[in-house]
Structure 1
Amino acid sequence: MKKEKILAKIAKTSMVSAITLSMLISPMSAINVDAAVLEYNYAKALQLSQFFYDANMCGTGVDENGLYEWRTDCHTYDAKVKLNSTDTNMSDSFINSNRSVLDPDGDGTVDVSGGFHDAGDHVKFGMPEAYSASTLGWGYYEFKDQYKATGQDTHAKTILRYFNDYFMKCTFLNSSGKAIAFCYQVGDGDIDHAYWQAPEKDTMFRRAWFATDALPSTDCVSATAASLAVNYLNFKDEDPTYAEKSLKYAKALFEFAERCSNKSVNNDGPKGYYGSSKWQDDYCWAAAWLYLATKDDHYLTEAFKYFDYYAAPCWTHCWNDVWAGTACILAEIDDLYDKNSQVFEDRYKKATGKNQYETIDFWSQVAKLVDNWMNGSLGKITPGGYAFLDKWGSARYNTATQFVATVYDKHHGDKPSKYSEWAKKQTNYLLGNNPLNRNYIVGYNSVSAKYPHHRASSGFSRCEETGPQKYVLYGALVGGPDGNDQHIDSTADYIYNEVTIDYNAAFVGACAGLYRFFGDSSMKTVTDLPVKAKYYDNTPVVTPEILIGDLNMDKSIDALDLAAMKMHLLGSKLLSGDALKAADMNSDGFVDAIDFAKLKMYMLSL
């Protein structure tokens, strides 16, 4: 028996030698352990992606709520906008007729401070503000467990409150709870863009634009109602009083949008910066969320009036087109309403006059959207494998589709399908696995874009300056590569390196979705950020002791670890983070066939 064991061990050793030799002469290249392009850490990406909102906080609550040491209260004079037809777009007659609602303390001003700057500029534009808030809320609604698991839920809730508190402050209700006016924009793009300086230094004139019955801005009002409805769902269990307040304002704003027979797009104020093309998608977006929040059948009736069933696969979820997001929420409602029958679908067909034999499947349109992105039917697939739609914020559109893909998978078995696998590859591209070896998330690692088009972080007096920026704009998703995988990392470039609140909005949710399906114990958040100490008080950040050879971090070294290293070396499933460090058996800074052999020999010696 002993002789047989010895012979078996000799045979195993010979096999290992053969495998090792074949690996050494095969065309596999050694991979640097510190190669930043291989750090596919979705917990870290989720953490950093939210910090962009701290950099763009506006108003009198930045000191209290923001996490950055280098950002403080700004545009405090937004709290004292003069109530007249020069400082606002409201007529003097409208102001006088509604002064008791607009100016209850009688000081002749209105408080519209708070919210978030749109981008590198400091205007608070209505459409991207409302879209960003509702999409961030949607991500938290879908993947709350992942925010909690990574310790990012407190930060997320602070950001969501700051958005929605601003919306409620900007909504003016009369004594019966009816919305009389809603301030959707503060600041003029033309005036604002003449400056390049920190927001704390701004003193330029900032006009306020209001939606009224005469100027309804149906899309913007509806999009804001959607955000407040999502906010209700996100806070109803832990803070029911606050949640009910959010719902009250959501209902009031939707009633405002519904009652105006002269429904129109938001074209008074944003000029050419955010030219909205339709209001129906935002109206349905709000109605769907309100139905989910209240189960009031009226909202479903309103959504069915205008919902375009075939629109979702034609673009993707973004500030000017939320058909894809609306399709997801209606599909979720359908699952709750009558998952195993056609009552919901038949009701939609009847409401829209569709043929009774036409097949309606809301989730199928979501799947078709992702399929169109995966096969290049929408946009194109670059030589590096990146799904590209448009040069203006290509990464914004790409990550929004990733987010939709992970939502789809959550509601179809709650496991990754080809859609989440595609999303993972796209995020890995953005994290550095691309022809330029560039990471498009600022501050993520050493190969990240370093020159976002952002006034506050740059510290410059003009965007054309080329030196290092004063602050790192952690987590900002820059515009991204073009259709040929090229990118210019320059502060002055507002196409390749633009950063905006709507660019990051779906990216945050995509990171959470990817962590749900692909996260593991090797993915940790980071602590070396220039933030206020309070941030880490409730954030469980762990720095584990790495056991060399334990690639899956289960505290033991076995065949699973060997298999993981083999897949890494073959390129079928790359290691990252602590797992990559654990694979470096001889501590030479590389993971190669020698490490594989050493791990195999170690296991045979057990």
Structure 2
Amino acid sequence: MARKSLTTSLRNLRVTAVPFLVLLSLHAVIGSGHDYHDALRKSILFFEGQRSGKLPPDQRVKWRRDSALHDGSTVGRDLTGGYYDAGDNIKFGFPMAFTTTLLSWSIIDFGRNMGPELKNAVKAVKWATDYLLKVTAVPDVVYVQVGDAYSDHNCWERPEDMDTLRSAYKIDGSHPGSDVAGETAAALAAASIVFRSRDPAYSRLLLNRAARVFDFADRHRGAYSGSLRSAVCPFYCDVNGYQDELLWGAVWLHKASRRRRYREYVVKNEVILHAGDTINEFGWDNKHAGINVLISKEVLMGRAEYFESFKQNADDFICSILPGISHPQVQYSPGGLIFKAGGSNMQHVTSLSFLLLAYSSYLSHANKVVPCGETTASPALLKQLAKRQVTSILSCSPLTRE
């Protein structure tokens, strides 16, 4: 397989492995003839294979060795650690932060279903957050990438042997990147919930840093692909804009801190930051559906009527992807697999399926359903739709055939 096609496939896998991981963790809920335990283990193990830096003694992927031990030396910072992207030796901060946010959300909502793999999932989060703390150590600066994508993509080599450029790229007050900074704040805030009872001191550190990074993202607004176009485009160029990441970061800070300022920020900026736009999109570049589903839990629990419009957006999202009445942007294969135009379709399948399961759980606890015209979307229906996607992903089943 050519380097480009393999890299694209692996990039898709790494960015979407988290929601897929959660789908696997729900074997007890959705049931199947597949070995979900083994698939879950391998999904988390994949993260260990992507580790950069000095590897820990309990590293399970034994063929991987220490690598990129001097990252950041060109700028006088320690930027070692984190995860490589796909089949590359680049560390792209934007998708890495999104992956961290989703893995944290997975643990928060479904960790009880992960069994013995929960501890490894938590370690995967910490491997990412330790790195995110390094890249945000200087106030009003975020290092968003280590490595030159062009030289790396022209040289196929394992990270232990790489001799390509390890350039460090940053955003700051003069070169804004509200998208990547907002996502980084979201990742740190979500992870602070994961460690709240496991390591309270570390949790407080994550939350305080999340607040500082979010303030920077909000004060210095702009897209990082505008500031660093030659480095990040066309690889993780922000097409959707930075507004959704600001709202996404504020929602996670609200959830993690319960501070009034973040609740008021979300309410005040709902329209300004376009919470109701592209409601059936969710991925590293577009957080709209995730924003609406995440915050709707509070409405369904009867605790936040001021977020009611977000719940309406979440209901509209559900209706927009139901088979038979789905939005023109969402189609289904003859076998029932979600299809959205563009590349990396499994990114859409796994991310949207994760939201289906999360919303199904919220609806079930509130004893609610979603009215979609003549159709009613029950929690069971949403679970069944997600199950259908998982079955298609795990095997070449009749679901993907004509």
Q: Same fold (TM over 0.5)?
A: yes
What is the rounded CA distance, in whole Å, between the counterparts of 1:187 and 1:213 in structure 2?
22
The one-letter code of the counterpart of 1:68 is V
Asked if structure 2 preserves the Cα contact closer than 8 Å seen for 1:376 and 1:387, the reply is: no
CA apart distance, 1:416: 4.6
**2:250 matches 1:287:** yes
CA apart distance, 1:129: 0.9
**2:337 matches 1:378:** no
**2:228 matches 1:266:** no
Structure with the greater alpha carbon radius of gyration: 1
- Give the corresponding residue for 1:162: 127
The one-letter code of the counterpart of 1:389 is K
Report the CA distance shift for 1:250/1:133 in structure 2 as closer, same or farther (over 3 A). Answer: same
Asked if structure 1 preserves the Cα contact closer than 8 Å seen for 2:300 and 2:362, the reply is: no
The one-letter code of the counterpart of 1:82 is T
The one-letter code of the counterpart of 1:71 is R
SS in 2 for 1:183: strand
CA apart distance, 1:314: 3.5
The one-letter code of the counterpart of 2:335 is G
Task: Please point out which of 82, 93, 102 is paired with 1:135.
Answer: 102
Aligned pairs (5 A) from 1:93-492:
109-147=76-114, 150-173=115-138, 179-260=139-220, 262-267=221-226, 268=228, 269-277=231-239, 278-304=241-267, 305=269, 306-315=272-281, 317-336=282-301, 338=303, 342-345=305-308, 361-371=312-322, 375=326, 377-414=328-365, 416-434=379-397
What is the rounded CA distance, in whole Å, between the counterparts of 1:231 and 1:376 in structure 2?
33
What is the rounded CA distance, in whole Å, between the counterparts of 1:372 and 1:245 in structure 2?
44
CA apart distance, 1:259: 1.8
Number of equivalences: 352
Asked if structure 1 preserves the Cα contact closer than 8 Å seen for 2:177 and 2:222, the reply is: yes
- Give the corresponding residue for 2:74: 82
Whose helix fraction is larger, Structure 1's or Structure 2's?
Answer: 2
- Give the corresponding residue for 1:523: none
Aligned pairs (5 A) from 1:520-539:
none
What is the rounded CA distance, in whole Å, between the counterparts of 2:66 and 2:323 in structure 1?
44
- Give the corresponding residue for 1:45: 39
The one-letter code of the counterpart of 1:294 is S
What is the rounded CA distance, in whole Å, between the counterparts of 2:302 and 2:253 in structure 1?
14
What is the rounded CA distance, in whole Å, between the counterparts of 1:188 and 1:373 in structure 2?
45
Q: Deviation per CA, 1:164-223: give whole Å up to 9, x if none.
A: 1100011124xxxxx231111101110110111111110211110111111121100010
CA apart distance, 1:319: 0.4
Percent of pairs identical after alignment?
A: 24
Q: Deviation per CA, 1:564-597: give whole Å up to 9, x if none.
A: xxxxxxxxxxxxxxxxxxxxxxxxxxxxxxxxxx
Asked if structure 2 preserves the Cα contact closer than 8 Å seen for 1:220 and 1:266, the reply is: no
Report the CA distance shift for 1:67/1:266 in structure 2 as closer, same or farther (over 3 A). Answer: farther
Report the CA distance shift for 1:138/1:373 in structure 2 as closer, same or farther (over 3 A). Answer: farther
Report the CA distance shift for 1:182/1:407 in structure 2 as closer, same or farther (over 3 A). Answer: same
CA apart distance, 1:266: 3.4
**2:29 matches 1:70:** no
CA apart distance, 1:337: 6.3
Q: Deviation per CA, 1:275-314: give whole Å up to 9, x if none.
A: 1020011111110010111111211232231442432534
What is the rounded CA distance, in whole Å, between the counterparts of 1:81 and 1:264 in structure 2?
26
Unaligned runs of 5+ in 2: 1-31, 366-377
Asked if structure 2 preserves the Cα contact closer than 8 Å seen for 1:312 and 1:327, the reply is: no
Q: Deviation per CA, 1:138-175: give whole Å up to 9, x if none.
A: 1111101112xx211110011000001100011124xx
CA apart distance, 1:362: 4.2
What is the rounded CA distance, in whole Å, between the counterparts of 2:96 and 2:156 in structure 1?
21
The one-letter code of the counterpart of 1:46 is L
CA apart distance, 1:378: 2.8
What is the rounded CA distance, in whole Å, between the counterparts of 2:123 and 2:325 in structure 1?
35
What is the rounded CA distance, in whole Å, between the counterparts of 1:183 and 1:301 in structure 2?
29
Alignment TM-score, normalising by the size of structure 1: 0.55
CA apart distance, 1:75: 1.0
Alignment TM-score, normalising by the size of structure 2: 0.81
CA apart distance, 1:391: 4.9
The one-letter code of the counterpart of 1:132 is T
The one-letter code of the counterpart of 1:229 is A
Q: Deviation per CA, 1:446-475: give whole Å up to 9, x if none.
A: xxxxxxxxxxxxxxxxxxxxxxxxxxxxxx
Report the CA distance shift for 1:135/1:118 in structure 2 as closer, same or farther (over 3 A). Answer: same
SS in 2 for 1:313: coil
What is the rounded CA distance, in whole Å, between the counterparts of 1:362 and 1:391 in structure 2?
24
The one-letter code of the counterpart of 2:393 is L
Aligned pairs (5 A) from 1:558-573:
none
Asked if structure 2 preserves the Cα contact closer than 8 Å seen for 1:221 and 1:254, the reply is: yes
The one-letter code of the counterpart of 1:157 is V
